[in-house]
Amino acid sequence: MCHVYICGMTSQPLFGQPLALIDRIVEVLGDEATKEDAVLTTSFSMEDQVLTWAVLEAGLDIDLVSLDTGCLFPATLQTWKDTERFFGVEIRALRPDSGALDSAGLSQIYASTEGRKACCNARKIMPLKAACSGKKWWLTGLRQAQSENRQSFQHIEEAPAWGLRKFHPLLEWDDAAVEALVSSSGVPVNPLYQLGYSSIGCAPCTRPVLPGEDARAGRWWWESSAKECGLHRS
């Protein structure tokens, strides 16, 4: 049975969308899901902070991981520390193999889409595939509102290339719902949001979003691609 209070931060009971989120996660994963069953990946976006809050509020001891690509903004690294302190948990760092980086360096990312994808593969996909090995579920904070490419995503998706199922509990949440729960729970927020970054990845590949652009337009802005690193295209 899930908790009904916001991480001990308040005595106010949960109602509506936050409680429904917790109940849905427990319904899908089961109330005894462990690190061997499921993994939650976080980049410390507001969506991921909401999802981390919900999983811990549900009392689930699943694997909490983040990709330490070696290219993160200092502000993101600080938000990582602040998040661990806030929740009282360790968020396991997934790091690239140094050998893989030898053939996929940062010098290639602006030269071609293939070069950029090779960098993403070495720094993100390969470490995460190792972490997903043997698990049944991968929880993400993806939302349809983030980009046109994500409009077709489903709440639960088979991911044969990863050997598990992906679960996107926040898929239909809008910006206002995410921001409301961030505010009520008091979870740490990456200060880069205040500088116009609405989707925050590696520093060399991320710029602030301009007025009228979608949330992921600042990622790999020099490309006319689907704005995905490869984690969510298979």
Burial class (CB in 10 A: 0-12, 13-18, 19+), 122: buried
Distances in Å between the Cα of 212 and the Cα atoms of 60, 216, 218, 220 are: 39, 12, 12, 17
DSSP class of 150: G
Contact 215, 147 (CB under 8 A): yes
User: Which residues are CB-neighbours of 118 under 8 A, at least 6 positions away?
Assistant: 103, 104, 108
* Closest by Cα among 106, 84, 168, 95 to 131: 95
Question: Phi/psi of residue 75, each to 5°?
Answer: -65, -35
Catalytic residue among 71, 120, 132, 229: 229
Least Cα distance to 213 among 193, 228, 198 occurs for 198
DSSP tag of 121: I
- 119 flagged as catalytic: no
Q: Which positions are annotated as active-site residues?
A: 229
